[in-house]
Amino acid sequence: MASTRTILRTHWVALRAMLVFTLVLGVAYTALVTAIGQLALPARANGSLVHDAAGEVVGSSLIGQSFADASGAPLPGWFQPRPSAAGDGYDGGASSGSNLGPENPDLVSAIGERRSRVAAADGVSPDAVPADALTASGSGLDPHISPEYARRQVARVAEVRGLPEAEVAKLVDAHVQGRDLGYLGDETVNVLELNLALAALVGD
């Protein structure tokens, strides 16, 4: 049977090891990674925050948000994002998709309602409504839409804002983001950044 001294020595060694690894991995490593992030990529390290013309934080370029009134109706003077299934919509604390299968009647009904609403709002055929206007992303927080969906909204936004369509279309084209590394994924448009540019254009 091990002596009391041996047991105490073993426990003391274990305690010292725990303290050392806590300091190295829990404190020093965290501080090092944080410092590297702040020096190399400060904007991303701080949440990719987006500021308006007055310097106020209005969101993150990584998280979608609603451009709707208090009742949830889309505001026609703004470009609209993808639908969201995160909480009550665009809830960063409840990121999720709908998890409904393609033949689920609730999803089929929701897609039909969205198709009719978007087609009526944008003055296009229901068949011309892009897929990303109808379905939420896997996270429910996707900040991007396709260039196709953004361009579908140009006529509506221009009419409501009293702007030439060509000017609004040029704004969309300027905010098309290319594929990652030039070949991964699809081209996208960040809705928040596009709407901020629209606000700056009209002095909103």
Residues 121 and 181 in one domain: yes
Residues 74 and 22 in one domain: no
Predicted local confidence at residue 33, as pLDDT: 87
Residues 108 and 152 in one domain: yes
Q: Which domain holds residue 33?
A: 4-42
Tens-level pLDDT at each residue, the chain (204 residues):
557 888 888 889 889 999 999 999 888 888 888 888 777 767 666 778 888 878 888 888 899 999 999 888 999 999 999 999 888 888 888 888 888 888 999 999 999 999 999 999 999 999 999 999 999 988 889 999 999 999 999 999 999 999 999 999 999 999 999 988 888 889 999 999 999 999 998 877
Residues 57 and 131 in one domain: yes
Residues 35 and 57 in one domain: no
Residues 32 and 110 in one domain: no
Residues 24 and 79 in one domain: no
Residues 63 and 114 in one domain: yes
Residues 31 and 69 in one domain: no
- 62 CB neighbour count, 10 Å cutoff: 18
Residues 181 and 121 in one domain: yes
Positive or negative: CA dihedral 133, 138, 140, 143:
negative
**Domains of the chain: total:** 2
The answer to whether the beta carbons of residues 192 and 65 sit under 8 Å apart is: yes
Residues 94 and 192 in one domain: yes
Residues 12 and 103 in one domain: no
